[in-house]
Amino acid sequence: MQRFTGEDHFDVIVIGGGISGAAVAYEAASRGLRVALFEKGDFCEATSAASSKLIHGGLRYLSNLEFGLVRESLRERRILANIAPNFVYPLPFLFPHYRSSLKENKWFIKLGLTLYDGLAFDRSFTWEATKKIPGHRTLSARKARERMPLLKANGLTGASIYYDCLSISPERLALAFIQSAVHHRAEVANYARVEGFRFGSDGSTITGVAVQDLIHRETRHVTSHVTINCAGPWADSVLDLAQRRQPGRQLRRSEGIHVITRPLISPGTAVSAMVPGGRHCFLIPWRGHTLIGTTDKRYDGHPDDYRVTRSSIRELIAAVNSTFNNPELTLADVRHCYGGLRPLVESQTDETYNASRKYEIHDHAKEGLKGLLTVEGGKWTTSRHLAENVLDLLVESTSLPIGRSISARQYLHGCAIRDMAGHLEGLNRRHPDFDRDTTDILGRLYGTAGDAVLAIAREDKTLAARLNHEGEILAQAVYAVRHEMAQSLRDIVLRRTGIATLGSPGEAILLEVARAVAPELSWDEKRIAREVQTAMTALALPAT
């Protein structure tokens, strides 16, 4: 995958390289259009990376009667498990029943899960048998506590087991969409900031953008038939560049944070429960630790200024401590934290938790600004279908030669694996000189490119050095620079590999990674030291 090569005209320009922009770029390119995508930071750097690492149907949306959104999400859950089998895996969730709350009542939950199963009527139509999802079942109170000792016993009447899916690397899954777009001849660039729009002679038609390449410090003017604003929480800031805002419409933002702690639950099963205030809280097994999320709090500042605060972490810890049986969590138990801003499009409620996760596609021609679409809202699971709907809108509103959608029927780039167990076994058999956990993790994170990563390690034995308990190796960093457009140490450890998924791996490992890629990126010792310090700062827990 190479950086933007300098074309001047495209059918479609996509602004934003999160999952929405990545999916739109792939959908457009795979349907025959010439596409350019520009991301001002790194791909999947912000909201898309700050997820609960779930591909889910949205069980809680049933209480808002959003049956269409839940059905769409459940269908897309199955499709993503099909087209990205190395990233998406079924995961059982335990939902406890308590007498004290209607939303935790056994019969209320059973009604919801029965409807959830019914809306997922096609959940067994998977390309691989291991991706089939069973219906829910009920456990007694005793069985529930045996399986999840963290549950409070007082008032517990039992629990339900239902299934959704875990995404083992949302950042790399988003990258697979980017790579799929490039495979269909899209041009993409990270660290490429759109600084303004170009207008036609009528003054009301957007004909392209001015984009600054932040790597090479040069500005290019690129034209297109259509520009699609997929900037997420920055969508209204992008619209400000055109000096146009839809009257009466305001993008709202909601903060969601997650923490990764010492293990609180057994591997293999997540738990979902109601915390004080009526929100849901997830405890998810994550690389030998526990991932806890999420909050949902209104954020009124500029998205560039957003940071996770220590007070937000304390609030999440307090909610967990009050909901479960003596977890006794403290700040000292937090290995890593991350957060992001969700863009919300509804205006009828100030309570962001109850705001819809539906997306909207807005054609600005309705307000006299032609050639510009804005995508607002949405969720990870429905991103592929969102992109399909964007292109279907272009079929109706433009004369561009747009083919039929293929994205639900073809594997993502690097994900063409019919049998995951066989794929992992084959990788281990071809590389018996590497540890089994190394071939397993590379087989999942890189799919069919796992052999290419190991080939780099074989060329230079120093790059076979293990970096964590899961078996990730130094060769991944070099591969990230050569083939995945990583430009910084943070790109490598946070978004191309799992080296920092549990927080800072320590200065020594960061320095080892930086020195491994220094020849690839022409870094001198001063730059190496700066990259390590920047990464250490980014991975540190907030002081305030």
- The answer for residues whose C-beta is within 8 angstroms of residue 467's C-beta and 6 or more apart is 473, 474, 499, 505, 509, 512, 513
- The owner of tokens 């350019």 is 36
CB 534 within 8 A of CB 492: no
Query: In this structure, which amino acid lies at residue 306?
Result: Y
pLDDT of residue 279: 84
Q: Which residues contact 34 (CB under 8 A, 6 or more apart)?
A: 7, 9, 10, 11, 12, 185, 186
Q: Which fold has domain 9-47+171-249+357-397?
A: FAD/NAD(P)-binding domain (3.50.50)
pLDDT digits (tens, 9 = 90+) for 439-450: 999 999 999 999
pLDDT at residue 247 greater than cutoff 90: no
Write down the mean pLDDT value for the chain: 94
Give the pLDDT of residue 358: 73
Q: How far apart are CA 499 and CA 508, in angstroms?
A: 13
Quick count: other Cβ atoms within 10 Å of Cβ 222?
Answer: 23
- Please provide the CATH number assigned to the domain covering 420-539: 1.10.8.870
User: Parallel, antiparallel, or unpaired for β 9-15 and 35-38?
Assistant: parallel
- pLDDT(410) > 70: yes
248 touches 75 (CB < 8 A): no
pLDDT at 100: 81
Q: For a pLDDT cut of 90, what percent of the chain falls above it?
A: 88
What does the pLDDT read at residue 2? 67
Note the helical H segments in 120-169.
Answer: 141-147
Residue where the block lists tokens 């995404």:
167
63: pLDDT confidence band, cut at 50, 70 and 90? Answer: confident
Distance between CA atoms of 187 and 208, rounded to whole angstroms?
15
Question: For residue 157, what pLDDT is reported?
Answer: 96
Amino acid at the residue 319: A
pLDDT of res. 353: 42
pLDDT at 1: 67
- Where, residue-wise, is CATH 3.50.50.60 in the chain? 9-47+171-249+357-397
**Global pTM?**
0.96
Q: Are 176 and 87 in contact (CB under 8 A)?
A: yes
CATH number for the domain formed by residue range(s) 87-166+252-345: 3.30.9.10
Q: What are phi and psi of 440, to 5 degrees?
A: -65, -50
Compute the average pLDDT of residues 347-352. 44
Classify residue 411 by its DSSP letter.
Answer: P
Q: What number is the average pLDDT over the span 58-63?
A: 91
- Using the predicted structure, report yes or no on whether residue 398 has a pLDDT greater than 90: yes
Residue linked to tokens 């049933």: 62
C-alpha closest to that of 11 among 402, 491, 430, 283 = 402
What's the rounded Cα separation, in Å, for the pair 340 and 45?
A: 10
- Split at pLDDT 50, 70, 90, the class of 250 is low
C-alpha distance from residue 406 to each of 26, 31, 409 (Å): 10, 8, 5
Three-class SS state of 270: strand
* Token pair 């949306």 in the structure block, residue: 61
Where exactly does CATH 1.10.8.870 map onto the chain?
420-539
Helical segments of 341-432, H only:
383-397, 420-430
- Choose among 345, 427, 430: nearest CA to 379: 345
CA distance 16 to 375: 10
405-419 mean pLDDT: 98
What pLDDT is stored for residue 47 in this prediction? 94
Which whole number is the average pLDDT over 24-46? 98
| pLDDT one-digit tens code per residue, 109-150 | 999 999 999 999 999 999 999 999 999 999 999 999 999 999
Please tell me whether residue 391 adopts helix, strand or coil conformation.
Answer: helix
For residue 237, what are its two tokens?
A: 């800031």
**How many Å apart are CA 431 and CA 438, to the nearest integer?**
10
Helices (H), 409-506: 420-430, 436-445, 450-459, 475-483, 489-490
Percent of the chain with pLDDT over 70: 95
Q: Residue 103 is which amino acid?
A: K
DSSP 3-state assignment of 278? Answer: coil
List the structure tokens of 336. Answer: 């890593």
CB 42 within 8 A of CB 196: no
- Band the pLDDT of 64: cuts 50, 70, 90: confident
CATH 3.30.9.10 location in the chain? 87-166+252-345
- Give tens-digit pLDDT for 282-329: 999 999 999 999 888 999 999 999 999 999 999 999 999 999 999 999
Structural contact between residues 405 and 27, judged by C-beta atoms closer than 8 angstroms? yes
